Amino acid sequence: MNDAQLLRYARHILLDELGIEGQERLLAARVLIVGAGGLGSPAAMYLASAGVGTIVLADNDVVEISNLQRQIMHNTSRLGQLKAESGRQTMLALNPELKVEIRTTRMDPHSLDQEISQVDVVLDCTDNFATRHAVNRACVQYAKPLVSGAGIRFEGQVSVFDPRDPQAPCYHCLFPEADDVEALNCATTGVFAPLVGIIGSMQAAEALKIIAAIGTTLKGRLLILDALDMQWHSVKVKRDLGCIVCASRPHA
């Protein structure tokens, strides 16, 4: 690190658990964030400010006025702009030393394979089950840790699915893919603005811990927030040895 970086990341470096070695891991890391909305906004901004060297931001949507109640990476002057480009501008304004790559077409299995095979961590900040399951399948295939978040109304969820651990569940173990699952979204049910900020920030924290190899992640646990009563619940999640996505992985 140069003198400017030592100054910028000084408060990280002062942490015994992180230090210079951990910060250098962040600077060398490549992370994929799928979704630049309510969850992706705080996640991307914190990863950028923390010094993750390369961030790939994928979103094919544009900024709409109804987004601005909670999607803090965007602003009124960027209405109609691609969210990925708006996010890139915000991240570089926070930290111009970063390399930010954007993907503005909808991620399909082929593009997910290409992107996920090249990164250290994936953050799923999407709002639909089809994309979440596609991201999970690619993460299992390439043994990449997945930080998954969700938020609707006043309830948020966050967990880590780490296929590098033979005992760890994947997303499909917890939420099996099914045709009859009703997909809730913010446009029809609403969402409390700070909720996605809390969950997205936690996704950033888990990703930073994974990259720096510090602390204990949410692997094997689903953390649920009731923001209306501000109550947290932690649920243990076991691997399903019959899971059609990760059953072929070795297990302990």
Show which residues are catalytic.
Answer: 186
Q: Which of 104, 67, 105 is nearest to 85 (CA)?
A: 104
Are 169 and 237 within 8 A, CB to CB?
A: yes
What letter would DSSP give residue 54? E
Its sign, for the CA torsion 89, 125, 209, 234, is positive
Cα separation, 183 vs 34, in Å, equals 18
Asked if 56 contacts 84 with a C-beta cutoff of 8 angstroms, the reply is no
Instruction: Compute the distance between CA of residue 82 and CA of residue 247 in angstroms, rounded to an integer.
Output: 38
The whole-angstrom separation of Cα 50 and Cα 36 is 18
Sheet holding 146-152, edge to edge: 99-103, 54-58, 30-34, 121-124, 146-152, 155-161, 221-226, 231-236
User: Rounded CA gap, 19 and 160, in Å?
Assistant: 24
